[in-house]
Structures are given as structure tokens and as C-alpha cells.
A and B are shown apart, each in its own frame.
Chain A
């Protein structure tokens, strides 16, 4: 084989590998997309040409499934989680980044270590505690659980961004006449903004997709979308067309957020200092 044809061979081989990898990830999503628009009878047939219908979406929002309620629950829980987690985590990260305190490293490691505990292990204590204080099946309870899940993550991520802001810039602002809070508001927050947005979106995704805790501590009133999927198991088997329609409703916000995050993430990475 000549050098040119060998190069061509490898390039083709590369392309094939990439196509296979992409297909493995994309085909299930395509399948779901098609199933969501198929009628019940068409679902099990792999036909590409079918008459699309929106009735699945209408059905999942109607009684008895009422996916709309779950959508509201998910939105409220995820949004509230982010709205609390990001400001609190920002202040915590700022303190970890800028102030020297006793036991700082230990605290940081402990925060991270909470993530090593398998969720199944702590879900039962959570259940018992929530039952005792009346937080079972409430959105407040879910927000609390989600905060416990995302906070360590948010603190570590935001700390990384704040560490990247040169201390000179903050000191300059202090000498220029700012209080510590003004420094945070006028200098740190704008400079860390891409990082805060990225962290916020990651936290939203985690809270939005959270399954295990929601499964155990909710049953009726505050059921979220991922748990709602279980509704579509009927006596006649899994209602794939409805499951798919609900799946798309869960995925759509994630697609939008992924697009936003892509832009900010690059900005966040290249933010850096002016030297």
C-alpha cells in the first residue's frame, strides 16, 4: 500500500469509528423522537415512514397522567434549588478561596467526601427524618435533598472560577474605595459570571434529572418528571409512545441548557486575567 492510500485507509477507518460512536449515542434518541410521534400500533415497527401524530403529547398532559403537574413540580424544585445553591455556594467559595481559616482544607475535603457516600445508603435516613417532620411528598423536602446533592459540587466548581480571578484586581478595588461586599458585587461576580452560569446550569440538570430521592420521598403531590415516567407502565405493557413523548418533554430543557452552557463554558475557561 502506498503512503497516500494508507493515509486514505486510516482516514476512512477514523470516520467509520466516529460514525459508529455517534450512532450508538444518537439512535436511541432518534428512536424516542420517532416513537413520540407514532401511534400505539406503530411503535413496535421500525418503519421510518409513518403518519406523525401529536396525540401522545395531548394524552400525557391529560388525566390520568397529568404530566403537566409533574412538569411544574420539576421546574419549581430545580429552579428553587439553583436559586438557593448558587448564591450560597458563591459566598462559601469566595470564603474558601480568599480567607485563610482554621481547618479549611479539612472542610473542603469533607464537603467533597459527602459525594462519595452512595445515595442509596442515605435515602432511608432521609425518608425517616422527612416523615417525622412532615416533609415527605413536599417540594420543600425535594429542594432540601437536591441542595444537599448539588451544593458540594457547586462550591468546588465556583471556587475554581474564583481562584482564577487575580487577587490584585480585588485589592485594587479595595484601595480604590470598595468595601468587601462591593468588591464581590462589582468585581468578583461579573468576572466569575460565566462560571456561575455554568455551575447554575449543571446544578439545574442534576436537580432536574434526580431520580432516587424523588422516588422514595414523593408519592403523589410533588412527583417530578423522572418519576412520572413510571406512570406509563400499564397492564398491557409499557406504553412506549407515551413514555417517549414524556421523555422528550424531560430532555428539551436539557438541550436548550446544553446550548447555552457551551457558549459560557468556553468563556468561563478562557476568562482568565489581564496581565
Chain B
């Protein structure tokens, strides 16, 4: 178990910058999720921690050691790969036992006991004699997990471990991972592009884009207190409404001169208002802050997602699943004046009023 420290690490391939002077302090026993779209540098960051990629600049620390020059085998981390990376010519037992055998960290006689213990944790005991190709996707995933937990590494590194599973299995395995990480209490770095995985598993989330962490915080902070337009837009489904306009006398006015809601800031000549779909309520036409026309109504089963046309912009909101709307219908919108965010469109950063 250990703290992982990244100091200004950079990875470049020619002109392409995959990770750009990134620093990160991962606490002992923390479950940190790196979240971002593909190509944002999250996997590269993890591979630099594992030693599978050499940083162009910067330092990687695991525990109290600088490990830049250490081979992957000497870093004492365990990794779960997206494609599992199982050894197809070995039985499940030998797959799980491999790290113990190769490291000689435990006496040979204890190996069966440890393998069984790990297999039990992920419910693989009946399959120990099988080859990986005789297992289903979910079972292979468990083998990869068991191989990681069979020894007690300094840290776990998980690279999109659930992305090859079907949707239903992914939800089950997610819960199992959560349970497992709670039991094992080992520092974990988890890479994913799935925001639900990030929200549910993480102690802290680092939202990455273009080689940099754009915001680092608890799931709660990331969701309810986004630091910039990228994070606001990336987290949440449907994604947050981002409406262009300006602020006059604590009032947000869209580019089409619709007055929407009161804001904390007094005046901004250019602003982007961020409002989550669930923080806008549909009321009878004329009785809300503004009126709009129904552009589309989608029933997802648990909600109705409504897209409204408001001048040149579209706004989505989530409504109770029993309410029905017809396209073209005029409805009123009521904004929750406490639950909106203002961003500076030139920098993309959040604008906060002093004292808020």
C-alpha cells in the first residue's frame, strides 16, 4: 500500500503531447479514477505509473521511491488490462499463480492456498483447472482480477477493465469491484471513459482532456461544482445545458434576449450559463421564467427527456416519466436560481462571484 506521486510528468511522441506536465498526488488507499474521452492521456498516465511507458519528463513516485528507472516488475504494482492479458496457454490456476511463482515472494507451498483464496474472492474456484478460452468474458475478467489481488501490491492499476463486458455484466462487476476495493483497501488508479463507473467507484475523480487533468475532486464536487466548461459538459447524462448570453443586473440574458434566471454575478458582457437538465422544471406556459417550444420528447422509461427550442438555442430538461408532451407545444421553464453555473466563454473557466 502506498501513496503515488506524479511530478510534472510529460509524455511526447514526436510532436504529439499525450500527457502535458501533469502532477498528481494519489493518497494511500485512495481509489482514484482518471476519466476522459479517448486520447486524453489517461491510459498513458497509468502506463507511466506501471512502467510500461517511459515519461519524457517528470518523476513518478510510488511510496517513498522514485521509480522512473525501475522496470515494471520492480514497481510492485498489479495491473488489470482492458483485454485482460491472460496467459492462454496456462490454466486459470496457473494464471493466478504466475505473479507468485515469478516473484518468489512466498514459499512455493503457500501458493495453492493463496490462489484459492483469491479465486474464492471472485468466485472462480470451480474454474481453476480450465483454460482462459473456455471461460466467458466476465469470468476472464475475474481471472485478471484474481491475478492482481493474489499478492498484496503497492497499488492496483486498472485500465478500462469493464469496457469489454456487456452492459448488464458491467453493472454487476462494477458493484463487485466496489466491494472488493472496500475489502482490500489498496491504492487504486482506475482509467475509464464511463462517467457512471467514475462516479460510483471513485474516492476522487481526475477529469482529463488533452493531456491534462481539468478538474480533480470527489464525485460530488465534479458533478455539482464543475470547474470549467469541459468538465460541466463531460459529466452528466444528458449533458449540462450550456447557454450563451450575458449577465445584466444579476439576470442572465440569452443572445436572443430571453431573460432566464437570476445569477450570483452582477454583470458579464459575455457568459455561458450551465444548468443541469434536472434543475429546470417545466410549468404551464406564461408562468415560468421563460416560454419555449417542445422540439422533441424522449421517454427513457425512468424519465422524459425534453428538448426545447428557445430562440436559436436548445435546452434539455428531465421531467417526470408520466408527463406527456407534444412536439411544437409551448411550455414554461422555471430555473432553480441556486443551481446554475457561469463560465467565461473565452477561457472556459468557471466564474464565481466573490463570497460564493
In the complex, chain B residues 72-90 whose Cβ is within 8 Å of any chain A Cβ: 72-73, 75, 77-79, 81-89
Kindly provide the distance from the CB of A191 to the nearest chain B CB, expressed in whole angstroms.
6
Q: Between A and B, how many residue pairs show CB distances below 8 Å?
A: 78
- Would you call A190 and B79 a contact (CB within 8 A)? no
Question: Which among B72, B83, B133 is the interface contact of A174 at CB below 8 angstroms?
Answer: B72
Give A91 Cβ to nearest chain B Cβ, in Å: 19
Instruction: Note all chain A residues with C-beta closer than 8 A to B157.
Output: 175
Q: Which of A236-259 contact B (CB under 8 A)?
A: none
Contact present for A166 and B85 (CB under 8 Å): yes
Q: Is the CB of B71 within 8 A of A174?
A: yes
- B50 CB contacts on chain A under 8 angstroms: 171, 175
Given A176-B98, A275-B164, CB of A168 within 8 Å of CB of B73: no
Q: Does B147 sit at the interface, judged by CB under 8 A? A: yes
- Chain B residues near A190 (CB-CB < 8 A): 89
Quick one: given A168-B81, A174-B52, A175-B52, are A274 and B71 in contact (CB under 8 Å)? no
Evaluate contact between B132 and A274: CB separation under 8 angstroms. Answer: yes
Supposing A172-B81, A177-B103, A187-B87 touch, asked if A274 and B140 sit within 8 A by C-beta, the answer is: yes
CB proximity to B under 8 Å, residues A170-192: 171-179, 182, 186-187, 190-191
Residue A169 CB within 8 A of the other chain: yes
Chain A residues near B75: list those with CB within 8 A: 175
What chain B residues lie within 8 Å of A178 (beta carbons)? Answer: 73, 102
Rounded to whole angstroms, the CA-CA distance of A168 and B147 in the bound complex is: 14
In angstroms, Cα B84 to Cα A218, docked, is: 55
A residues near B147, Cβ cutoff 8 Å: 172, 176
Q: Within B112-135, which residues are at the interface with A (CB < 8 Å)?
A: 132-133
Given contacts A274-B88, A274-B132, contact A173 B98 (CB under 8 A): yes
Residues of B within 8 A of A46 (CB): none
Query: How far in angstroms is the closest Cβ of chain B from A264?
Result: 14
Tell me which of B51, B73, B103, B140 has the highest count of chain A C-beta atoms within 10 A of its own C-beta: B73
- Between A173, A176, A187, A275, the greatest number of chain B beta carbons within 10 A of the residue's beta carbon is seen for A176
> Quick check: is A273 within 8 A (CB to CB) of the other chain?
yes
Residue of B nearest to A169 (CB): B85
- Flag if B85 contacts A177 (CB, 8 Å): no
**Distance in Å from the Cβ of A185 to the closest Cβ of chain B?**
11
* Residue from A166, A175, A274 with most neighbouring chain B CB atoms (10 Å): A175
Q: Give, as a whole number of angstroms, the nearest-CB distance from A181 to chain B.
A: 11
Q: B99: CB under 8 A from chain A?
A: yes
B71 CB contacts on chain A under 8 angstroms: 174, 179
B102 contacts A171, C-beta separation under 8 Å: no
Judge whether A175 and B79 touch: CB under 8 Å.
yes
A86 to B195, CA, bound (A): 49
A178 to B82, CA, bound (A): 20
In the complex with contacts A174-B72, A175-B77, A176-B102, A273-B87 CB distance below 8 A: no
CB distance from B52 to the nearest CB of A (A): 5
Give min CB distance, A223 to chain B, whole Å: 42
Task: Quote the shortest CB–CB distance from B159 to chain A (angstroms).
Answer: 9
B81 touches A182 (CB 8 A): no
For chain A residues 140-190, which have a beta carbon within 8 Å of chain B?
A: 166, 168-169, 171-179, 182, 186-187, 190
Residues in B neighbouring A187, C-beta threshold 8 A: 87
Q: Would you give the shortest CB distance from B290 to chain A, in whole angstroms? A: 52
State which of A168, A176, A182, A274 has its C-beta within 8 Å of the C-beta of B133.
Answer: A274
Name the residue on A nearest B50 (C-beta).
A175
Q: How far is the CB of B41 from chain A (nearest CB, A)?
A: 18
Given contacts A174-B52, A176-B98, contact A274 B73 (CB under 8 A): no
In whole angstroms, what is the CA distance A177 to B75 when docked? 9
Contact B89 A191 (CB under 8 A): yes
Could you list 24 examples of A-B contacts with CB < 8 Å?
Answer: A168-B85, A169-B85, A169-B86, A169-B87, A171-B81, A172-B86, A172-B87, A173-B87, A174-B51, A174-B72, A175-B50, A175-B73, A175-B77, A175-B78, A175-B157, A176-B78, A177-B73, A177-B103, A182-B102, A190-B89, A191-B88, A274-B84, A274-B132, A275-B164
Q: What 14 additional pairs, Cβ within 8 angstroms, besides A168-B82, A175-B79, A191-B87?
A: A171-B72, A173-B85, A173-B102, A174-B51, A175-B157, A176-B102, A179-B71, A186-B98, A190-B89, A273-B83, A274-B84, A274-B86, A274-B140, A275-B84
